Amino acid sequence: MEEVKLLGTWSSPFSYRVLWALELKGIPYQYTEEDLYNKSPFLVKCNPVHKKIPVLVHGGKPICESMVILEYLDGPWPHNPLLPSDPYERAVARFWAKFADDKGTVIWTMFRSTGEEQKEAVKGSLEMLRTIEDLALGDKKFFGGERIGMVDLAFGALAHWLGVFEEIVGIRLLEPESFPRLHKWTKNFKEEPAIKENLPDKDKMLSNFRCLREKLLASP
């Protein structure tokens, strides 16, 4: 079996999407923590276009972009598939994965802003959560059905990072009464062993992101 390497960072939800996928599929891998303020020559060589993590390197060949990596994994490792086999169900999964990527940034905007910009971002975040609650999850345990799939991993940031951001900015978005399905999903998601055993430490996150927010607000 060819060697698998993951270049990532401990605090990135994008990095964790891939890490969780590898754990769920039981794929052995070597993890390298990257310093994004001092990127390794190897990272830059593997991802010359974006110079970002995560990067998966399989048998020496790099694959970049977290959702591209997730789609890739079912090929060489078809067990515990991340995508359904039916073409229509696959299209639905890809739609929601794209939604997570396109709309998810509004939560980051809420975190890194203040005033009017933050107010708008809060509004956008609530709309996004409402859409997911009403249209994406249904009564399923996971977005993938009975098992965690690609869409669950795509929305993973909502299960762990959102709570940290909410605490730092002092704004609660994911209220259980307003979003019962989504709230239940965050519990189910974090109870899965592959996820539970692979979550960044909450206190470390609070300290790290608090610091980051100050830095971002201080810079022009």
Partner 1 sequence: MGDEVVLLDFWPSVFGMRLRIALAEKGIEYEYREEDLRNKSELLLEMNPVHKKIPVLIHNDKPICESIVAVQYIDEVWNKKAPFFPSDPYQRAQARFWADYIDNKMYDAGRRVWSSKGDELEAAKKDFLEVLKVLEAELGDKPYFGGETFGYVDLTLIPFCFWFYAYESCRNFSIKAQCPKLNAWANRCMKKETVAKSLADKLKVGECVIKRCLGLISETVTEGWVDAGCYPSDASPAFNFVCCVGC
| Smallest distance from partner 1 to CB 87, Å | 4
Piece of 7-15, 89-97, 151-159, 182-190 that binds partner 1 (CB under 8 A): 89-97
The rounded distance, in Å, linking the Cα atoms of 150 and 97 is: 7
Nearest CA among 75, 67, 60 for reference residue 27:
75
Q: Find all residues with CB under 8 Å of 188, minimum gap 6, and list them.
A: 141, 142
Residue bearing tokens 């909410």:
166
User: Using the rule CB under 8 A, is 173 a contact of partner 1?
Assistant: no
Facing residues of 4 across strands?
58
User: Using the rule CB under 8 A, is 68 a contact of partner 1?
Assistant: yes
Do the beta carbons of residue 9 and residue 18 sit within 8 Å? no
User: Using the rule CB under 8 A, is 67 a contact of partner 1?
Assistant: yes
The one-character DSSP state at 201 is -
| Smallest distance from partner 1 to CB 95, Å | 5
User: x/- binding map, residues 95-134, to partner 1, per CB under 8 A?
Assistant: x--xx-------------------------------x---
Residues that bind partner 1 (CB under 8 A): 49, 58, 61, 63-65, 67-69, 71-72, 75-76, 87-88, 90-91, 94-95, 98-99, 131, 135
